[in-house]
Structure 1
């Protein structure tokens, strides 16, 4: 293999998505799960040599340090970690302490802003669901963070005695006719309802809705196909920030 190879990682709370890029071409991609040897070997075996490693991470310092050590030992390259900024280009953070915003949210907005120079609603549907509004001039108007489906269900199971089910039920919107359906459909109603209400609250001009994150396809179905699913949006933002 010849060329200039960059390994890019989007590290979440439970796993990390990665892709290997040579210039603008994505050569390989996968998911790394901590303590899963096979997924680690797949990532470390994606290339004989890489010249750069870029990481967007919402993990803690210890996990970031462990990951950096593994990558340095494999390729001898010190990873660059993206951090949320007060502004990147003309995208302007609304937080008084920008570092308190998860970098995945910031990069998703940055990727969407690069694609569309208009008002935006950026939804990242993962372990948590984040909803962020960006004005046409690039100013972050603010956002929302709500639990994702797994966290919502866990709260019900941990804090109630009689909400229990073993059936495999899809997320859908009709009223449930069993405990399993009532929980799963209730979660779906809450998730899709939050996005719809955020769009309604946004007022005019109506923002363009873009979706990313592992649960984005399900979210888009619940929204009756509304919005545009951009699975690599965080990676796109990572690439833009690295090039600043």
Structure 2
């Protein structure tokens, strides 16, 4: 049995988890992520915060057998991450990138080197959960929407501003629009400026997902699953459940798709 320590460094949040190789990346039990956490990615810039994080993890877990990470927050963030755990200096940090090969899933991206590591790992994580035509939606700082065929082929995807970025850009780049705030009652057309911004940004995100499903159908890959991950996943999922979109297959929130992908990769690497 091996213990894996996994890190997903996004532009806003860094997630981590520890899992055992005897567990299965397809497991949907909440206890699967019993040893996990999330902190601001900016905390890696502080030596003090890095020391606190490393000390907390090292006291919580035994020494892992392998450490893997995916990073889209820049080279310095990756270097800062790898400065953690000097007491485990004999361990090799394994970086997962957009061109990391994985048996059973391949991408049609023209230059895999430029495919985001988080998108690629998320696709592999989705494959661990389902072998059907799937839209993988990660709604964080940016929202990414990717088509993964039942045949294991990634047919490409889209990148658009995330919900918070859409909303804040209106406040930043206009003279009179305010920073909008979400309330539980908002639905449909907004009858005031705040609700109009929130509903408009939601509609843009949901419209992109529905349009992606339409294109997938035209490509003879009708969507059977939609996996939503990221900070705004629950918002989008609730909107879909309210019936604001149609013909979107089975949509569900799945935490840690990137971490699942890293985990699947380590298991496959260990066997090869």
Q: Which residue of 2 aligns with 1:10?
A: 8
Q: Which residue of 2 aligns with 1:219?
A: 236
Q: Which residue of 2 aligns with 1:206?
A: 222
Q: Which residue of 2 aligns with 1:45?
A: 56
Q: How does 1:62-77 map to 2 (within 5 A)?
A: 62-69=76-83, 71-76=84-89, 77=91
Shift of 1:47: 3.2
Gaps of 5+ in 1: none
Q: Which residue of 2 aligns with 1:31?
A: 38
- Please state whether the residue corresponding to 2:200 is helix, strand or coil: helix
CA distance in 2, matches of 1:38, 1:171: 38
Q: How does 1:1-244 map to 2 (within 5 A)?
A: 4-23=2-21, 24=23, 26-33=33-40, 34-35=42-43, 41-42=52-53, 44-48=55-59, 49-51=62-64, 52-69=66-83, 71-76=84-89, 77-85=91-99, 87-165=101-179, 169-170=183-184, 172-203=186-217, 204-207=220-223, 208-224=225-241, 226-243=250-267, 244=269
Tell which deviates more after alignment, 81-90 or 54-63. Answer: 81-90
Superposed CA RMSD in Å reads 2.4
CA distance in 2, matches of 1:86, 1:47: 28
Deviations 1:97-121 (A, max 9, x none): 1010111111111111222222111
Q: Is the 8 A contact 1:171 1:187 kept in 2?
A: no
Shift of 1:194: 1.1
- The alignment's TM-score, normalised by the length of structure 1, stands at 0.88
Shift of 1:161: 0.3
Q: Is the 8 A contact 2:182 2:198 kept in 1?
A: no
Deviations 1:74-103 (A, max 9, x none): 533342111122741121111121010111
CA distance in 1, matches of 2:148, 2:182: 37
Shift of 1:44: 3.4
- Please state whether the residue corresponding to 2:57 is helix, strand or coil: coil
Tell which deviates more after alignment, 183-192 or 32-41. Answer: 32-41
Tell which deviates more after alignment, 100-109 or 202-211. Answer: 202-211
CA distance in 1, matches of 2:87, 2:162: 34
Tell which deviates more after alignment, 14-23 or 124-133. Answer: 14-23
Gaps of 5+ in 2: 24-31, 243-249
Aligned residue pair count: 241
Shift of 1:38: 6.4
CA distance in 2, matches of 1:92, 1:183: 38
